[in-house]
Amino acid sequence: MKLGAYELNEIYNIDCLEGMKNLPDNCIDLIVTSPPYDNLRTYKGFCFQFEDIAKEIYRIMKPTGIVVWIVGDKIDKGNKSLTSFKQCLFFQSIGFKVHDIMIYRKKNTPFMRSNAYTNCYEFMFILAKDKVATFNPLKTKTARSGYEMLVAGKKADGINNKVMGHLNEEKVLTNIWEYAVGLGGSTNDKVAFKHPAIFPEKLAQDHILSWSNEGDVVLDPFSGSGTTAKMAKICHRHYLGFEISPEYTDISRQRLAQLDDLLF
């Protein structure tokens, strides 16, 4: 199946700005991506033009589409860069709605600061082009469920009125999501760790399930080791990845090929 110049379900070794220029307007259902930020890592010397890329992303998203933009901030001489918020504000200035600001909390983080608390999160900006058409809320088990005597209303005398009520077995997640990182946390694919900054497979999967449906097209313009593509494939979505480094493109293709033996 083709989309613009591309066969779907492939990772392309290309600068995403060039890659997106070969896609038609309003064609992508979901982006789940983590761009390079604040030159924290060199990624083989490649850099990216944020503002032009943001405008291309706006053009190619369907009006019902969602962009999940996952970023943190560098600390330079005790000063946080706030690149995350600057990028979010730029997205808003070109027409995106900031549908939510979610937190990706890392369970195990080795980076300590001597004069501040250990940073353990990144932002997940949820950007909507126009109308959010798909929201499949993920749920978690409640601590207590079944029938219990519940407080029904406090009277002026302070005595609680209790009645038998039913507690739900599940509740919708909050917008803070926590994941283990590293081998066995982010992924079990050893080859993926040749990339310096992967995000957890479960994180990608949770967004894909939340904001898209089977058969939708999921793009990662900064595909890295191919985590979003891999989870899109597992979740029966079409995927497309752009990655500027040939070495990382190769890693992502290896991960996707491993899936072929396991899945179908």
Ligand X SMILES: C[S@@+](CC[C@H](N)C(=O)[O-])C[C@H]1O[C@@H](n2cnc3c(N)ncnc32)[C@H](O)[C@@H]1O
| Cα–Cα distance, 115 to 237 (Å, whole number) | 45
Minimum CB distance to ligand X smaller for 20 or for 128 = 20
| 34 scored as a contact of ligand X (CB under 6 A) | yes
Which helix (H) or strand (E) covers residue 240, if one does? strand 238-243
Q: Which two tokens stand for residue 3?
A: 């989309």
- Give Cβ neighbours of residue 83 (< 8 Å, ≥ 6 apart): 37, 38, 71, 73, 74
Give the residue from 32, 54, 1 showing the smallest Cα distance to 227.
32
Minimum CB distance to ligand X smaller for 8 or for 17 = 17
| Cα–Cα distance, 264 to 259 (Å, whole number) | 8
| 244 scored as a contact of ligand X (CB under 6 A) | yes
Q: Which of 3, 11, 28, 43 binds ligand X (CB under 6 A)?
A: 43
Q: Interaction with ligand X in 54-73: which residues (CB under 6 A)?
A: none
- Give Cβ neighbours of residue 89 (< 8 Å, ≥ 6 apart): none
| Closest CB 202 distance from ligand X, rounded Å | 12
Q: Which of 30, 217, 227, 238 binds ligand X (CB under 6 A)?
A: 227
3-11, 108-116, 159-167, 241-249 -> range binding ligand X (CB under 6 A): 241-249
Minimum CB distance to ligand X smaller for 143 or for 200 = 200
Q: Which of 50, 245, 250, 253 binds ligand X (CB under 6 A)?
A: 245
- For residue 227, the one-letter residue type is T
Which helix (H) or strand (E) covers residue 219, if one does? strand 217-220
Minimum CB distance to ligand X smaller for 107 or for 162 = 107
- Give Cβ neighbours of residue 259 (< 8 Å, ≥ 6 apart): 230, 233, 234
**Number of residues engaging ligand X in binding (CB under 6 A):** 22
| Closest CB 203 distance from ligand X, rounded Å | 9
| 243 scored as a contact of ligand X (CB under 6 A) | yes
- Cβ neighbours, 10 Å, residue 206: 18
Q: Interaction with ligand X in 14-33: which residues (CB under 6 A)?
A: 15-17
Q: Is residue 159 within 8 Å of 165, Cβ to Cβ?
A: no
12-20, 157-165, 232-240, 255-263 -> range binding ligand X (CB under 6 A): 12-20
| Closest CB 228 distance from ligand X, rounded Å | 6
| Cα–Cα distance, 169 to 84 (Å, whole number) | 36
What x-and-dash track marks residues 155-194 binding ligand X by CB under 6 A? ----------------------------------------
Minimum CB distance to ligand X smaller for 109 or for 142 = 109
Provide the sign of the torsion angle of the four alpha carbons 248, 249, 254, 257, taken in this order: positive
Q: Which residues bind ligand X (CB under 6 A)?
A: 15-17, 34-36, 43, 46, 48, 195, 197-199, 222, 224-225, 227, 242-245, 248
